[in-house]
Structure 1
């Protein structure tokens, strides 16, 4: 009985520590991204499909970017250099433009609440990735053979896909899936599709059973 009590106390303490860590990390993210908050909220609304045609806008932007890359057809190192240069320029110049365009007086409590929720989701994502990395390292230490088998199969599959499918097309599909995932989750499309499939399957079973009964009667 004492063992169960101690285990439950340990579990409770771990949960409290994780909750405190999440709150602390959320505050850190809010502080570090405070300059970008006026940009992050519209981007978040776009990714979560707050408006009717947001999914089409995401699809059009990503398709246009990859179409330009396809037309220019730069070498890999040139493309990587251009991406890094773009990121550096945005990181340096964008905050200056944001401070000029957006004024602190226009920041409302509603926006602050949305910004806090966004930072909480970012902290949750960080925590989830950290947890998955810890599981992988734990598997590497405790089940090295399984770690080797799973890692080899996964990497061989990636190498096979990269060999058989055009890399630019593969990058386009991966980018499109990543950018559309928040909207799909927000609209709960996966659960709706699953429910539709289950309903179709159940209706099909009912029709088949009804047809079989008619055959038996005849």
Structure 2
């Protein structure tokens, strides 16, 4: 782990300390510590989107309600949860799980940084490749968004995000998508490697 990653982990650990009980509980559900947790995740997500489909709120109303929920949670959770759970709830096992969660969140930030660095490098060294790749992806997304119902598409994306940690923890993701993951990882490493030798990249172009 690099120094930048260590600083990010320490910073996140301090910022999310008031949420540690909630994070551990949610993480337990997302990684499928028990066999019925996937059913809970799918049912909760499906009921939530079914409610949105039934109510049909406007986009402004939906974002406003989401903002209110986030604001209330940010204010109440750090104050209420430690009082409800009590000091006896937190154990060494919970602390280790909390550290793993923080590292996972830090890794997500690292992946985001890696992707932005790759795109920036591609834009500088391979502008044609960058233009074709980005434009093609945006056209594909626009076509999918125009073909598939927006609420259904959002439901599929959210459900995939919710199920991803469990699929990864149980090895299902690696078993069925190992080749795809390796291809994407190799592409990112190749772009990062190209950024280290801009002269060679320009010759290739």
Matched, 1:184 2:167: yes
SS at match of 1:52: coil
CA distance in 2 between counterparts of 1:93 and 1:111 reads 21
1:139-150 matches, within 5 Å, as 139-150=122-133
Deviation at 1:97, TM superposition (A): 1.4
Are positions 1:165 and 2:165 aligned together?
no
Instruction: Report the TM-score when normalising by structure 2.
Output: 0.82
Name the counterpart of 1:38: 21
- Structure of higher CA gyration radius: 1
- 1:26-175 equivalences under 5 Å are 26-175=9-158
Partners of 2:167 and 2:173 within 8 A in 1:
yes
How far did residue 168 of structure 1 move?
0.2
Deviates more, 1:102-111 or 1:144-153: 102-111
Summarize deviations over 1:110-166 as a string: whole Å, max 9, x none.
211111111111111211111111111111111111111111110011111111110
Q: Check whether the contact 2:20–2:98 (CA below 8 A) recurs between aligned residues.
A: yes
Q: Deviations over 1:77-112 (max 9, x none)?
A: 111111111111111122221132022343211211
The 2-side partners of 1:185 and 1:110 are apart by 21
Is 2:21–2:82's contact at 8 Å kept on the other side of the alignment?
A: no
The CA distance in 2 between the partners of 1:103 and 1:77, in whole Å, is 38
Residue ranges of structure 2 left out of the alignment (5+ in a row): 179-205
**So what's the TM-score if we normalise by structure 1?**
0.78
CA distance in 2, matches of 1:191, 1:93: 38
Q: How many residues align?
A: 178
* Alignment CA distance shift 1:140-1:192 (3 Å): closer
Q: Is the 8 A contact 2:29 2:37 kept in 1?
A: yes
The CA RMSD over aligned residues, in Å, is 1.5
